[in-house]
Amino acid sequence: MAELKKEGYLNELYDIRLKLLKFVSFLKNGESEYTKELAVKLRLLYSNVNNVSKGGKKQSLFKIISDLYNIEIKVLTKTVNTIDSLKKLNIPLPLLTFSSSIATWFETGNNLENIESAIKKESIYFKGESYTFDDIFRILSDKFGGCHIDKFINDNFIELYDFINIGGQKILIKSIFDLANASIEIINQIQKLLEEDIESKFIKKSISK
Closest alpha carbon to 176 in 7, 48, 70, 46: 46
Whole-number Å distance between alpha carbons of 75 and 101? 10
Give me the pLDDT at residue 52, please: 45
Query: In whole angstroms, how far apart are CA 26 and each of 9, 23, 32, 166?
Result: 26, 5, 7, 22
> Average pLDDT over the chain, rounded to whole?
82
**What is this structure's pTM?**
0.86
What is the DSSP-derived secondary structure letter of residue 34?
Answer: G
User: Does 16 map to a domain?
Assistant: yes
User: Does 106 map to a domain?
Assistant: yes
Owning domain of residue 163: 6-205
> How many domains, the chain?
1
**What is the mean predicted confidence (pLDDT) over 161-178?**
78
User: Does 1 map to a domain?
Assistant: no
User: Does 123 map to a domain?
Assistant: yes
Cβ(123)–Cβ(133) below 8 Å? yes
If you average pLDDT over each of 35-44, 51-60, 86-95, 136-145, which comes out highest? Answer: 35-44
Q: How confident is the model at residue 152 (pLDDT cuts 50, 70, 90)?
A: low
Whole-number Å distance between alpha carbons of 115 and 123? 14
Segment 57-100, tens digit of pLDDT: 678 999 999 999 999 999 998 877 777 777 777 777 777 777 78
Give me the pLDDT at residue 137, please: 80
Cβ contacts of 13 within 8 Å, gap of 6 or more: 61, 65, 187, 190
